[in-house]
Amino acid sequence: MIVRRYIVRDMPEAVMSIRKDLGKDAVILSTKKVRVKKWLGLRWQKRLEVTAAVGGDIPLHHDVVRNGAKAPAAPARKESRDTAPDTRPEATDVLEEPSFGAALAGAFGAYQATAAAMQPASALQDRDKAPVVEDVLRELASLKAMLQTQVGSRDGVPVASECETFLRAQGVSEEVARQWAERATANDPEVPMSTALSRVQQVILDELGDLATPMPISQDSRVVAFVGPTGVGKTTSIAKIAALYVLAGKRRVGLLTTDTFRIAAVEQLKTYADILGVPMLVVDDAQELPLRLAELSGCDLILVDTAGRNFRKPETVANTQSLLGSLAPDETILVASLTAKPDDLDALVTTCNPFGIDKFLFTKLDETSTLGSIPALLTKYKRPLSYVTVGQNVPDDIDILSVEQILSRWLGGGASE
Ligand SMILES: Nc1nc2c(ncn2[C@@H]2O[C@H](COP(=O)(O)OP(=O)(O)O)[C@@H](O)[C@H]2O)c(=O)[nH]1
Ligand SMILES: [Mg+2]
């Protein structure tokens, strides 16, 4: 293995030098900010120290990015991160510049390690606030229902009730759970539970129709706003999506943040923007919006981060509504975490619906096995899913999944007839 160190201005410069020097299979091992003396040692300058290596058996782990980068408008082909076959040979065909993806991942990794050290266990703190007992009970109920699908329905309990119990445990409202369970078993009340659940899947897919197909950001959209409560993963998701487009090399991405509520929020997005080599501007006041948008006139995709606030407060709702009114985005994506309670998620969507929500983006799929809110919200509010995120790693942990793919995981692989 050859290991080299580079002192550069930014990541794009590092990637160019590394590619030229070590070839396209090189990977970045670490990055850190350093200060170097200029010529004659008169002035200090900020630089980036990047260590890269080539040779040995370096795995390519960009299957998720590859899916997004190749065809942002099409459903991802990968069924599951855990069960996906080794896609290494195919990845080289599909992603034109795999080492650039690896380079970005390295840079993001270094940033995230530093951020984690500075803000210990922020995700953990979020979780600590969650009603743990309720989560455990829901998990248990869902496990119980899943077990029943394996062994068949209990004696004497109609399969429709079993289906309903399963759906309820997964966070589907009572009324909808009953409807879906009844429709799935209507013609065949004695059907085995596993078959009933694959029929539930079909009932949901029929109801969703075109909405079952994932709808990432449209080719025609230039300004895309991301709204949602605090801490759900808006900024992280924006960084992941920006990385997908930078990797694809098809659109000039710019970032805009209106989240000046927390100083760290601006820093967070700025760091991602620097790593990606894309412009990022801050908007303090809605009146500045036209000016800032004009400054980003060279960008054909502007991702707008908004302040994560408590949507149960009327002033938050009013502020967001007025911001979106001035911004007039081509798309507004509601970002919601699946770790929230189903009722709270539903209340959030009801509150945000008047903003003109176009799509959902669900985060933290990796932290829960309760996925019923996805089909429940999609069918109720008739909005499609854009992306789902499955972890904290930028840019890896984002996926474009069809509802069918999600249901297959949720309902235990879609039990066969
Ligand atoms: N486990 C997990 N954590 C995530 C995911 N997306 C974001 N996070 C974490 O959630 C926390 C809040 O994310 P952030 O993007 O700052 O949220 P924002 O306030 O909505 O902008 C951070 O610790 C992220 O790393 C995800 O898909 N899974
Ligand atoms: Mg944020």
Give yes or no for residue 389 CB within 6 A of ligand 1.
Answer: yes
Give yes or no for residue 271 CB within 6 A of ligand 1.
Answer: no
Any idea which ligand is nearest the CA of 263?
Answer: 2
Position 312 confidence tier, pLDDT thresholds 50, 70, 90: confident
Give yes or no for residue 229 CB within 6 A of ligand 1.
Answer: no
Query: Distance (Å, rounded) from C-alpha 358 to C-alpha 172?
Result: 22
Lowest mean pLDDT among 34-48, 225-239, 264-278: 34-48
Q: What are the structure tokens assigned to 353, written together?
A: 């619906």
Cα angle 110, 116, 122 (rounded to 5 degrees) comes to 150
pLDDT one-digit tens code per residue, 94-143: 333 345 566 666 667 766 666 666 554 444 344 444 556 666 776 666 66
Any idea which ligand is nearest the CA of 126?
Answer: 1
Query: Distance (Å, rounded) from C-alpha 184 to C-alpha 305?
Result: 41
SS3 383: coil
Whether pLDDT at 75 is above 90 = no
pLDDT one-digit tens code per residue, 157-188: 688 998 999 899 988 999 999 999 999 998 88
User: What is the CA(241)–ligand 2 centre distance, in A?
Assistant: 14
In the block, tokens 């409202």 appear at 173
The string of DSSP codes covering 137-196 is HHHHHHHHHHHHHHH-PPTTS-HHHHHHHHHHHTT--HHHHHHHHHHHHTT-TT--HHHH
pLDDT one-digit tens code per residue, 279-307: 999 998 888 999 999 999 999 999 999 98
Q: Which residue owns the Cα nearest ligand 1 atom 10?
A: 233
DSSP state of 384: -
Query: Distance (Å, rounded) from C-alpha 402 to C-alpha 123?
Result: 27
User: What is the CA(196)–ligand 2 centre distance, in A?
Assistant: 41
pLDDT one-digit tens code per residue, 11-54: 878 888 887 888 776 777 677 788 887 655 667 788 888 887 77
Strands 359-363 and 331-337: parallel
Give yes or no for residue 214 CB within 6 A of ligand 1.
Answer: no
Check: CATH 3.30.1300.10 for 214-401? Answer: no
- Domain range summary for the chain, segments of one domain joined by +: 132-211, 214-401
**Mean pLDDT over each residue of the chain, to the nearest integer:** 78
SS3 87: coil
For ion ligand 2, residues whose CB falls within 5 Å: 234-235, 265
Give yes or no for residue 235 CB within 6 A of ligand 1.
Answer: yes
Residue 55's contacts (CB-CB under 8 Å, 6 or more residues apart) are 1, 2
Angle, helix 234-248 to helix 263-276, in steps of 10 degrees: 10
pLDDT one-digit tens code per residue, 338-396: 999 999 999 999 999 988 999 999 999 999 988 999 999 999 999 999 999 999 998 88
Residue 259 Rama label (left phi>0; alpha psi -120 to 50; beta) = beta
Residue 136 Rama label (left phi>0; alpha psi -120 to 50; beta) = alpha
DSSP state of 231: T
Give yes or no for residue 386 CB within 6 A of ligand 1.
Answer: no
Q: Which residue owns the Cα nearest ligand 1 atom 3?
A: 392
Please identify, by atom number, the ligand 1 atom nearest to the C-alpha of residue 390. 27
In the block, tokens 């700025």 appear at 270
User: What is the CA(71)–ligand 1 centre distance, in A?
Assistant: 24
